[in-house]
Each structure stands twice: as structure tokens, then as C-alpha cells.
Amino acid sequence: MTVRSVVRGVGHYLPSRVVENTEFEATLDTNDAWIRARSGIERRHFATDGDTTSSMATAAAKAALADARLNAHDIDAIVLATSTADLTFPSAATMVQAQLGMTSGFAFDVQAVCAGFVYALSNANAMIISGQAKRVLVIGAETFSKIMDWTDRSTCVLFGDGAGALILEAQTGGGTTEDRGILSTDLNSDGRYRDLLFVDGGISTGSSGYLRMQGNQVFRHAVEKLAGTANTAIERAGINSEDIDWVVPHQANIRIIQGTAKKMNIPMDRVIVTVQDHGNTSAASIPLALSVGRDRGQIKSGDLIVTEAIGGGLAWGAVVLRW
């Protein structure tokens, strides 16, 4: 028998403020058609005065707990993927722990930018299969609106805020590809490409800074690296791309999503797409897409899913799981 990390519950939270593309036309040399053509984005959600990364993460976590019919005391650990924690320290994860009323277990943040949720899933899976935890709450939450340069039309129209959460639970499987739960993971990074996507602030600078991106260069790396990590994870799981029911990609840009699917020989009708409504929510995008895809009736129990993401670092990776 094999211990698997099985999805027990899922949930998400989006701020109430919805910003359509046309809202940028008053302050930037851009328009709705330009943004849609280059990114596939139609609207995004921005944090209101009452929203923080930890509060949104908590709301998503509560939704996942309700979906799983569990309470906070049933959780052994929280792993929160974010690049926009409320404070330099403590971790946003411990803030979520407090807001949930969880007084035992442990909580920590993972920072791998847009690849953060894949990294968090891999860490949570490792803790479960090693026996360190039975149930892990895995969250992706971001407030990228706080690090936008609102004069840079090449970046500020692309990003949004939100949070998504999964609860992984240790369950026994037969050790075959028919098992529910995480079947394989693949993580990668290459720090030589730091300058392609970064924030020009932090502790060493004395300011929080703004996001800077060389979009064309990121695009060049993204499709090849995403398809490569997804195919590696698929091979490690002992399956074929034809077996995949759904690709749930990081929702950065529709052209990257389409290019990666094409390189993997997977048709777009087997790809969960939410970028048009959420924009790029960084580490929150995959759990948001999983939750929305489930709510839409697309993702069903037993479905075979591959998630893949790339972000600043560069850092990239993939996870194969059976829902």
C-alpha cells in the first residue's frame, strides 16, 4: 500500500473590486482590444481596503475547510505560497493560522513567485508521505496590485489579486496510476534569469519596490520550460499526455497557455482557463483555477490533472494528481 496526498477540499476568494480593461484607458496609452489581444485578459480583481494577503488566504482556507467538512483543528500544517505577505515577518501563513483559530500544528510561507503553488504542493506532499503531517492546508494568495507601477502599461494591466486553497489528506492507495492524489512532482529553478522578472525593492533597498518584467524574454522561456516540466512530471507518474483529463496551468497569458498546450499536444478543450476573469494572480492562479474549474463542473473526482507554472527566479515546476 502507498500513502498518497489526496485533495479533500478546495476553495477560493476574490476581492469585490472588479477592474475591467477599459478602466485603464483613462490613465494609460492602452485599450481593451490591445490588452485582450496580447494577454487574453478582460478583467481582474484588486484588493479593497479591507483585503490583505492573509485575510484573502484565510477566506479561501475557510471555503476549502467547508468544502472538506473539516475545521481548523483537523489541520496539521499550513503552507502558503506568496510573494506579497502582509509583513516582512512573521509569515502570512502564521497569520492565517491565527485567523482560523488553529492553535496547534505549524505554518510557513513558500516564495517562488508564480510557481509558488506548485512548490507548496510539492512540499506539502513530501510532508504527508514522510509522515510529518496527515492533513495540510495549501494556499496561494497574492496582492500584486500593491507592487504595480501604474505608469507601466506592459505590466500593470496583467496582474490581479486573489487566493485559492486546497486541503491535502493522507490516504492509502494501491501504488498505481489509478490512485487518487499526487502522483508526481517536478521542480526547477535557474537564478541566472533573475533580471527577466523581479521587484526592484526589498530589505536591501529600503522600499517595497515595483514589479519589472522583460515580457518577450519571459515568453520565450515560458512555453519551452512549462511543456518540459509538465512532460517530466507526466513521465514520472507513469502515464501519457493522452491520459490527462485537464491541464490546469498558471494563468499568466493566454498565448503562453495556448503555446504550452500545443507543445504538449493537448487540445485547448482540455485546458482550464480563467485568465480572462482573474488576470495573472501569481501563486494564487492555479488554486483559483482548480476551485473555479471544480465549481464549473469541469473537474470531477477521478480526473487526471497536470498543473504547471513558471515565475520569477526563474522558477518553474509541475504536479500530476488524480482529483
The residues that are catalytic are 114, 250, 280
- CA 248 vs. chain centroid, Å, equals 10
Phi then psi for 16, rounded to 5 degrees?
-75, -20
CB burial of 71-104 (b: ≥16 within 10 Å; e: otherwise) equals: ebebbbbbbbbbbbbbeeeebbbbbbbebbebee
Within 10 angstroms of residue 114's Cβ, the number of other Cβ atoms is 33
Q: Grid cell 506539502 — which residue?
A: 124
Q: Where are the beta strands (DSSP E) in the chain?
A: 2-13, 17-20, 43-46, 77-81, 106-110, 135-143, 161-173, 181-189, 197-199, 211-213, 246-249, 304-311, 315-322
| Cα–Cα distance measured from residue 110 to residue 27, given in angstroms and rounded to the nearest whole number | 35
Q: Which residues contact 248 (CB under 8 A, 6 or more apart)?
A: 271, 272, 286, 289, 290, 293, 299, 305, 306, 307
Half-sphere exposure of 234 (CA within 13 A, CB side): 22
Question: Are 167 and 64 spatial neighbours (Cβ–Cβ below 8 Å)?
Answer: yes
- In angstroms, rounded to a whole number, what is the distance separating the alpha carbons of residues 41 and 273? 11
The three-state secondary structure class of 128 is helix
How many C-alpha atoms does 227 have within 13 Å on its Cβ side? 16
